[in-house]
Amino acid sequence: MTATQVIVSLLGIVALLLWGVGLVSAGVMSGFGPSLRQTLATRLDNRLAAIVGGTLVTMALQSSTATAMMVTSFTAGGLVALVPALSVMLGANLGTALIVQALSFDLGLVYPLLIFTGYVLQRRRANPRLSEVGRILLGLGVILLSLELLSALVVPLEDAPDVRQVMTLIVQDPVLAMLLAVLFTVLAHSSVGAILFIMSLAQIGILSAPSTIAMVVGANIGSAINPLIAASGGDRSHLRLPVGNLANRLAGGVMTMLLLAPISAAAERFGVPGQRLAPDFHLVFNLVMALVSVPLLPAAARLLTRLFPEDARPEDAGRPLYLDTASLDRPKVALANAAREVLRMADIAEAMLDGSRKVFRDADPIALSRIRRTDDEIDRLYGAVRRYLSRISQGDLTEADKRRLFEILDFAVNIEHVGDIVDANLMAIAAQRIDDRQILNEEEMVRIGEMHERLIAHLRLAVSVLIDGDATSARQLVAEKERFRDYERAANEEQFRQILSGQLPKGQSANRYLDVVRDLKRIEAHIAATVYPLLERTGDLKSSRLA
């Protein structure tokens, strides 16, 4: 096999690997995205929890880059503070190391089963969650298949002395080997693929122990560059997390390269096989960096905040206007401030729903992009309100104040969920309508428009309930949920009728319409949930069969 054949084959395998990673990430985000976002956004109480959360989310997404971009958006929106966000990235890097550990063993009999099972489940369109599980399994199978092809590509190099000699000359210098690994990882957008490729080269003896370790260092540095590139071009404060993560990787890389000789000697002394050195050192490197970095994160966050201040934004809808810290010692005033800010969230959510209706009607890509940016504003306001409410002294709150605090926080949580559903779900379907095909017919578009109008009216009703505490309006809002159940029931019956008659629209229009109806019904449920605290207090919630 010539060098040209090796390079061309490698490009195809890398593309297959990235496609598999993309399938897993898309399946996880579509089927379980809101849960992951909620986990990262609200359950980072301490650095250890953040590290564990980052590890688990990265193992689910199969990509530390995807985790980095998600958490960067949270920090930019004020939903997650910088210290726990940096902790999440330590966990994300550890998550990739655990993924590599799992993939470094012989899984040749697993990927055919994963691909077959994933393909079968993905065709279960009637069950969207099960279909997404199928996409995840299919992606995992494609990843394992690409790794099998990678091994098949590398092993014959043992019998190709010319190619072997060229590659050995290239990677014999540890510094050059590290730089090549950085470049490969950046281009491949996958440290997992880079580490497994390094493992394959070490297995056939092309890499020495120092070069293997140096390339692992390069893969770790390269994995931190893509999130930095993605965050550039916006507000300077958005660079804090990716720059902090890259600085962490660079610091660990520099120390490793300075201690390369003793580390290599230790690996040989402990008898670590060449094919295990890359994944094992990758895990050790990230474990050590996590342990060493955790105590330094507060100081690092302060430095990054000074280096990358927020850009001036005089007309920033996501910047809180009413959260006056001087009022925190006066609970009633502070709660009124928080309520005013939450009403701004509701106004933004109403604008998103109105914009969503227009996007579906007019297929306007500019409006779609504007809505997706608007969700960041809701996220930032939600984070600010949540932190502000947590700073109110609990000892100064009366029972009535505590109930009001809970009502305001519950309202904010549900409005934030409304924004997430519009952004992540409805706009994804609208983007398909814009990009490639007409996936909804005119009758379906009319019904979607009607549902949007009802949602906007119900959101305004929920706002009035928050302001005046009218239990009658609250009961009316909860009762309106039945109309959306009717919409969903009618959509299911129509799809079933079309399947039986063999008239299912080309392009699976019925499935897409049903997805939209279900997402709009979820939004209605969140709007109705904003009044549950009031109905629970008045005793109406238990008696309502709709609750």
DSSP 391-455: TS-GGG--HHHHHHHHHHHHHHHHHHHHHHHIIIIIHHHHHHHHHT---S-HHHHHHHHHHHHHH
Q: Do the beta carbons of residue 171 and residue 209 sit within 8 Å?
A: no
Residue 545 confidence (pLDDT): 43
Interhelix angle 47-61/3-42, nearest 10 degrees: 140
Q: Which two tokens stand for residue 330?
A: 């006066």
pTM above 0.75, yes or no: no
Nearest to 180 by CA among 237, 125, 222, 209: 222
Biggest CA–CA distance in the chain, Å, is 83
CA distances 462 to 185, 348, 408, 452, Å, are: 49, 14, 12, 15
**Which DSSP string do the residues of 207-248 spell out, in sequence order?**
S-HHHHHHHHHHHHHHHTHHHHHHHTTS-GGGGHHHHHHHHH
Could you give the count of Cα atoms lying within 13 Å of 408 in the half-sphere of its Cβ?
28
Q: What is the pLDDT along the chain (547 residues), one digit of tens a residue?
A: 566 776 788 778 778 877 877 777 677 666 665 565 555 555 565 788 888 888 887 887 667 776 777 777 667 656 677 888 899 899 989 988 898 888 777 666 677 888 888 888 877 766 777 787 888 888 878 877 877 787 677 656 555 555 556 566 666 788 988 999 999 888 877 788 788 888 877 877 778 889 899 999 999 999 899 888 877 766 677 888 999 999 999 999 999 999 999 999 998 888 888 778 889 999 999 999 999 999 999 999 999 988 988 765 545 667 888 888 878 888 888 899 999 999 999 999 999 999 998 888 877 676 777 787 788 889 889 999 999 998 887 777 888 888 899 999 999 999 999 999 998 888 888 877 665 555 567 788 888 889 999 999 999 999 999 988 888 888 888 888 778 888 888 877 777 776 666 655 544 444 678 888 889 999 999 999 998 888 887 766 655 444 4
Residue 372 confidence (pLDDT): 77
Q: Which two tokens stand for residue 50?
A: 């953040």
Residue 546 confidence (pLDDT): 42
Nearest to 433 by CA among 340, 362, 350: 362
Residue 53 confidence (pLDDT): 82
Residue 3 confidence (pLDDT): 60
